[in-house]
Structure 1
Amino acid sequence: MLIRSISTRQRSELTNLRKPREFGCYSRTANDEIFVNDDRNLNYFYFTDDEFTKNQSIDLSAGRRQFEDRNETISDPCSMKGLLDTIKTTEEKVNRRLSADIITFRGIIRKLISYGIEDVKFTDPINLQVIVFDGQIFIKDVKQSSDLTKGNELQSNYGIDLGSFSGYKFETLTTIPRPFSEVSRDTIETRSKQIVSNRNEYASVVRTGIGSCKIILGAEIDAIFDFKPSAEEKEDNLGHYIELKCTKQIQSQRDCHNFEKKLFRTWLQCFLVGILRITYGFRDDTYQLRTIEEYQTSEIPQLVNPSMREQFNDAIKWYGCFIDWLLQTIPRDPKGTQIQAYRLTNGEQSLRLEQIDPSSEEYNTMVNNPDFINDAFKKWRQSLK
């Protein structure tokens, strides 16, 4: 049953944003183990100017055949288990439910905002699962067969397209697994020979929101730029994280325009959770790394062509409009015992929310999915009542 749809042309003047605050984190291993408030998978940015002088060429395509894909070892890369385990751990300390209207991932919100702002030819299709439980809205992405190889002519028999691989390779070449003082010289100097993998994940869990809506977001973090503050310092880690990206070097007006579109998406990705720094690696057509540039997230709206600048404000207006529509459309009764399930998809210049029949197999599969709202989280919330 179609509940309601919203046109992506709609906008709202609701633009007051809550400053993101990290309250937890987790590491997920290649074996799908979750370690709450554990930074074992947090990397540290380390790449000096000497790297270019020591190496006449840095090949971002080397080692593609050996790439280790998390889709091969993790049952559902879109799993909410780490996010909910972190929320549960925090709630256990205070013995109450965290105040939030929506609980989801940064990537999902970014995708929803992009769909309402950018040309749909360049945006990802929307296929999201929504559950209303304990008066809160939980949103999960649907696992794809492979988010790295789908529909890319460069895939060949390598299992990952070259563009995606070069991004992971750039991260491997510019990060180390622990602070510099704790890492051997051999570890630093042999990074070019290290097998590239996306199996280990470190994620930050952040409180944020827009208007009166309170949102909890999980966000995968690439690295720490300088240092991670100690617990005694009580300083937010968000100001120390860095986003790492890799793209083709700019050699034409078209390249410049394409890069500005990428900058917008990267700005949005960082802005949503309060990441202040972005570092881009620029490669040539043969996938040799040529230059590295650092950007401040707050400065990006002024760096693009003036004709694009309104897009940044427009993104926030669409964000506020969509969130307000979602909260008004979905009934939330914290005392209700029936779990509601919905499907959120894209239409033609619109987003559509459809309720799922509780007697259907789709409903049972979604509500009983351990990678969505797992039994331990449900039991914990019931114990609070």
Structure 2
Amino acid sequence: MPAFRHRLKWDLDSGYDTAIKKDCNQNVKLENLLIWISKNREKFATRSPKGELLTSESLHTDFICYRGTLTKVLCTPYEGREDWLIGATKFKDTIYMCHYHTDSDRERQMNMSVREEHMGYWGYKFEQYMVTDEPGKAPDTEAVLNTREEYCSVVRTRLNAHSLVFGAEVDAQDPELVRKNKSSHSTSHYVELKTSKLCLSEKQHWNFCKFKLIKWWAQSFLIGIPRVICGFRDDDGVVCTLQEFKVREMPHLAKDYWSGAVCMNFCDMFLSFVKKMVTRDDPNIVYLFQLFPKEGVQCTLLENPGDYRLLPDWYIRQSHQ
């Protein structure tokens, strides 16, 4: 954290023209996560009563996906406007899930204004102001910003009867916490970095608590990130002040607008629904789950999924070896 948190005047639009930008229209699917799994199969192995590693084709987990898929599901009880589309494939007793762009997603992307494109860049620039490659170094805010670069952490967890493994992009970790705990293998060291418009009215504060905090909480709670640092900016994209939010306190701050328990219960029910519907263990079949606002979730079986296919041939072949 900077020594001073107020009157910062950090220009988030700086470097926009030279930045290397991510293609937001591309459906990344699970490729990078599958590469990580293929290189770390031993982490999914079980042990015999004597402690010996047992070789098996099974990953011993119910679901594999990215955090963003689960975040979509968690926020659904309070999302009355946006639809979503999630594909699921069962392979060797594990269900792989992936979030796809919907027609409305693509329409929003195509109709994005120049200002909205700049605002999409501001979050990446804020991270550049906040992080360094090494502890103790000053941030290099003049370097060309590559928004395609990211650090991903893979987490194993449970939600009631469901075991999950998911990948999650991580913004930063606090070196002081790593030093105190003498370990870097804990998500409690991670920090989520966000930007938001300054709340100058009661309505703006209402929107912040109702719409932003729920997404911040869902993202951070899933992986066990304890705090979010927000850079509050003006309309020109200049950060004026920093504020820290503890993730465990977010549901209380927004108790009049949403409930974390309701979100978790819905996610639990959705995963149970997916287990019930995804019965055929076949990497070439995809079950599509689509949320229609105010109508609920519908499931469609695709025996010829085409572009919706989740698992690449190389991963299927490797899993049989």
Structure 1 position 220 matched with structure 2 position 220: no
288 and 229 in structure 1: CA distance in 2 versus 1, 3 angstrom threshold? closer
1:143–1:315 CA distance, 2 compared to 1 (3 A) = closer
Determine the C-alpha separation between the residues in 1 that align with 2:107 and 2:217: 22
- Say if 1:148 and 1:164, in contact at 8 Å, map to a contact too: no
Distance 1:59 1:274 in 2: 30
Q: 1:242, 1:279 within 8 Å by CA — same for their partners in 2?
A: yes
- Supply the distance in 1 between the matched residues of 2:283 and 2:65 (Cα, whole angstroms): 20
Cα distance between partner residues in 1 of 2:283 and 2:216: 38
2:117 corresponds to:
161
Asked if the contact 2:195/2:231 (under 8 Å) is kept, the reply is yes
What is the 5 A alignment of 1:229-378?
236-261=185-210, 262-304=212-254, 306-309=255-258, 311-333=259-281, 339-349=284-294, 350-356=296-302, 358=303, 360=304, 363-367=305-309, 372-378=310-316
Q: CA deviation at 1:143?
A: 5.5
Partner SS, residue 286 of structure 1: coil
Q: Distance between the aligned counterparts of 1:77 and 1:147, measured in 2?
A: 15
The residue number in structure 2 matching 1:206 is 155
Q: Kindly state the Cα deviation for residue 277 of structure 1 after the two structures are TM-superposed.
A: 1.4
Alignment partner, residue 6 of structure 1 = none
RMSD, aligned CA: 2.8
Paired residue type of 1:294? E
Per-residue deviation at 1:63?
Answer: 2.4
1:359-380 deviation digits (Å, cap 9, x = unpaired): x4xx24444xxxx423332123
- Measured after TM superposition, the shift of residue 90 of structure 1 is 2.3
Check the 8 A contact 1:78/1:140 in 2, yes or no.
Answer: no
Query: Aligned equivalents of 1:51 and 1:136: distance in 2?
Result: 46
For 1:170 and 1:129, locate their aligned partners in 2 and report how far apart those are by CA, in whole Å.
33
Take 2:92 and 2:73, find their aligned partners in 1: how far apart are those partners?
Answer: 24
Equivalent residue of 1:84, what SS?
A: helix
Alignment of 1:184-203 (within 5 A): 188=139, 190-191=140-141, 193-203=142-152
Residues 75 and 214 of structure 2 are in contact (CA less than 8 Å); yes or no, is this contact kept in structure 1?
A: no
1:149 Cα deviation from its structure 2 partner: 4.5
Unpaired runs of at least 5, structure 2 = 46-54
Q: CA deviation at 1:235?
A: 6.0
- TM-score (normalizing by structure 2): 0.84
Counterpart residue number, 1:67: 19
**What TM-score, normalized by structure 1, do the two folds share?**
0.71
Deviation of the 1:338 alpha carbon: 6.4
What is the CA deviation profile of residues 300-339 of structure 1, one whole-angstrom value per residue up to 9, with x for unaligned ones? 11223x4225x22211111111111111121154xxx664
Q: Paired residue for 1:100, among 37, 44, 61?
A: 61
Letter in 2 for 1:296: K
Letter paired with 2:228:
I
Q: Which amino acid aligns with 2:21?
A: D
1:90 aligns with 2:40: yes
Of structures 1 and 2, the one with the larger relative CO (CA 8 A, separation 6+) is: 1
Distance 2:290 2:242 in 1: 37
Opposite residue 274 of structure 1, the aligned amino acid is: G
- Aligned to 2:175, the other structure's residue is in SS state coil
Contact 1:70 1:77 in 2 (8 A): no
Residue 171 (structure 1) aligned with residue 127 (structure 2): yes
Query: Identity of paired residues, percent?
Result: 23
Cα deviation code 1:184-208 (max 9, x no counterpart)? x5xx3x41x2333311111011111
Deviations 1:132-166 (A, max 9, x none): 2222211122368979954333x26xxx6232222
- In structure 2, the partner of 1:78 is 28
Whole-angstrom distance in 2 between the partners of 1:120 and 1:351: 13
**Does the residue aligned with 2:64 lie in a helix, a strand or coil?**
strand
Are 1:382 and 2:320 an aligned pair?
Answer: yes
> 2:2 matched to which residue of 1?
48
Moved more, 236-245 or 79-88: 79-88
